[in-house]
């Protein structure tokens, strides 16, 4: 199906979207045997480094497919933390008011948020993207306003419990922003891109997308988000159920982009484009947590080959996330009981990917180290 044909208006965004979809190719796995042979010849019992070996193989296949050789490469690495507001916040689905979105963007630019600390610790670049924050007065006097990329499509979405969150045109524009960010990263030599987000009420939008795309029941996967009580979680699930009912004509089998416009957020749409764009440019994609995985699902529904380039950073403490990961048959790198978002899980997972790449690139083989290997079984 021609997804771009379903977008009304925004011709430049539509063209970028369609060109991106057509350029995403499945991973060339022809080098799998050669990479596996190298892994098995390293000075260790075969398979003894477990998941690290699986990650190294995956990284090496992406590198080979991108024409960078068989050596897996991770750096430079960058996280894009995309921010936007959500109209559904008016339904009381978050403990925090909407203005916290812009306040947290200011905190990012001031260097004081968790994502700042963790990216500094991991030596990962950070960019903050305003794709739909309702206010834009968060840069005055902050230490690093240059970190901010102003890409606002519109100042937040509408309340999707009353109708579509945004038009298909605005959704396409937000997706195009993400695709352009991926191009920017690739053009600047970045090899690994992590996803991050900020937006009050965006767990509500993410949950609605899971329900629509994967057929999940709201009451099964709706979680506490910012710390809701059990009663508040039930209310949140009711709001999501109402949104699904109000927007029933946009649900599958409607095109995935139409569903994203009705139930998503501008930052989720931007991350969807970022994932699609990174797959087109053959970059390693590190998907953060609950909300970022919703963007991944949207991208995957639009173009299934994005799965070949994705690594899932961590299993969120949002109770629905493990249900979703199981459905996707995806195994996260870490499980630390986190549920913050911002890209914090991606910042922690990227050093694990570096270790996997270094293991394959730098360990000696049995023959070069004059170590006797185990006899063949």
pLDDT of residue 376: 67
Phi-psi label, residue 223: left if phi above 0, alpha if psi -120 to 50, beta otherwise: beta
pLDDT of residue 247: 98
Q: Is the pLDDT of residue 95 over 80?
A: yes
State what percent of residues in the chain have pLDDT above 90. 89
- Mean pLDDT, the chain, rounded, equals 94
* Arithmetic mean of pLDDT, 23-45: 96
* Arithmetic mean of pLDDT, 92-108: 95
* Per-residue model confidence as pLDDT tens digits over 234-267: 999 999 999 999 999 999 999 999 999 999 999 9
Q: Confidence class of residue 4 from pLDDT cuts 50, 70 and 90? A: very low
Distances (CA, A) of 75 to 173, 283, 302, 307: 29, 11, 28, 20
**What is the span of the domain harbouring residue 168?**
75-355
Number of domains in the chain: 1
Whether residue 236 lies inside any domain: the answer is yes
Least confident of 246-250, 315-319, 371-375: 371-375
Is the CA virtual torsion 288, 292, 295, 301 positive or negative? positive
pLDDT of residue 117: 98
Please list the active-site residues.
Answer: 342
C-alpha triplet 131, 135, 139: angle, nearest 5°: 85
Whether residue 340 lies inside any domain: the answer is yes
* Arithmetic mean of pLDDT, 8-33: 85
* Arithmetic mean of pLDDT, 261-285: 98
Q: Is the pLDDT of residue 213 over 50?
A: yes
SS3 track for 246-282: HCHHHCCCCCHHHHHHHHCCHHHHHHHHHHHHHHHCC
pTM: 0.94
Q: Is the pLDDT of residue 1 over 80?
A: no
Distances (CA, A) of 307 to 91, 168, 329: 34, 24, 11
Q: Is the pLDDT of residue 6 over 60?
A: no
Joined tokens for residue 300: 């995957």
Whether residue 31 lies inside any domain: the answer is no
* Arithmetic mean of pLDDT, 87-102: 96
State what percent of residues in the chain have pLDDT above 70. 97
Joined tokens for residue 41: 């010849």
Question: How many beta carbons lie within 10 A of that of residue 362, not counting itself?
Answer: 9
pLDDT of residue 226: 85
Whether residue 88 lies inside any domain: the answer is yes
Whether residue 307 lies inside any domain: the answer is yes
Q: Give the residue from 67, 80, 147 showing the smallest Cα distance to 112.
A: 147
Whether residue 111 lies inside any domain: the answer is yes
| CB neighbour list of residue 46: distance below 8 Å, 6 or more residues apart | 39, 40, 374
Whether residue 371 lies inside any domain: the answer is no
Whether residue 33 lies inside any domain: the answer is no
What is the domain-level CATH number for residue 264? 3.40.50.10210
Q: Is the pLDDT of residue 10 over 90?
A: no
Q: Is the pLDDT of residue 2 over 60?
A: no
pLDDT of residue 373: 78
pLDDT of residue 377: 61
């Amino acid at each position: 199906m021609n997804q771009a044909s379903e977008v009304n208006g925004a011709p430049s965004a539509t063209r970028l979207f369609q060109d991106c979809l057509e350029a995403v190719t499945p991973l060339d796995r022809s080098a799998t045997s050669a990479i596996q042979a190298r892994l098995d010849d390293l000075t260790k019992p075969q398979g003894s480094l477990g998941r690290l070996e699986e990650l190294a193989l995956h990284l090496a296949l992406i590198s080979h497919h991108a024409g960078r050789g068989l050596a897996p490469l991770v750096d430079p690495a960058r996280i894009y933390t995309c921010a936007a507001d959500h109209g559904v916040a008016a339904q009381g689905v978050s403990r925090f008011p909407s203005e916290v979105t812009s306040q947290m963007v200011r905190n990012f630019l001031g260097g004081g948020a968790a994502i700042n600390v963790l990216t500094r610790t991991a030596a990962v670049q950070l960019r903050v993207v305003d794709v739909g924050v309702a206010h834009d007065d968060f840069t005055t006097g902050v230490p690093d306003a240059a970190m901010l990329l102003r890409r606002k499509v519109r100042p937040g979405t509408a309340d999707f419990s009353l109708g579509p969150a945004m038009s298909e045109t605005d959704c396409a524009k937000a997706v195009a922003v993400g695709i352009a960010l991926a191009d920017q990263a690739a053009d600047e030599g970045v090899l690994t891109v992590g996803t991050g987000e900020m937006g009050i009420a965006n767990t509500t939008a993410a949950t609605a997308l899971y329900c629509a795309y994967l057929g999940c029941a709201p009451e099964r996967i709706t979680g506490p988000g910012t710390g809701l009580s059990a009663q508040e979680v039930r209310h949140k699930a009711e709001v999501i159920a109402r949104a699904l009912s109000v927007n029933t004509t946009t649900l599958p089998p409607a095109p995935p982009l139409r569903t994203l416009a009705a139930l998503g957020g501008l930052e989720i749409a931007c991350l969807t484009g970022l994932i699609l764009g990174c797959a087109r440019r053959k970059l390693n994609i590190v998907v953060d947590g609950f909300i970022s995985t919703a963007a991944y699902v949207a991208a995957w529904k639009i173009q299934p080959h994005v799965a070949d380039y994705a690594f899932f950073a961590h299993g969120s403490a949002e109770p629905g996330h493990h249900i979703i990961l199981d459905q996707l048959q995806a195994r996260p790198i870490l499980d630390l009981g986190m549920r913050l978002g911002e890209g914090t899980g991606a910042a922690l997972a990227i050093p694990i990917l570096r270790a996997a790449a270094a293991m394959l690139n730098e360990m000696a083989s049995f023959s070069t180290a004059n170590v006797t290997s185990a006899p063949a079984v």
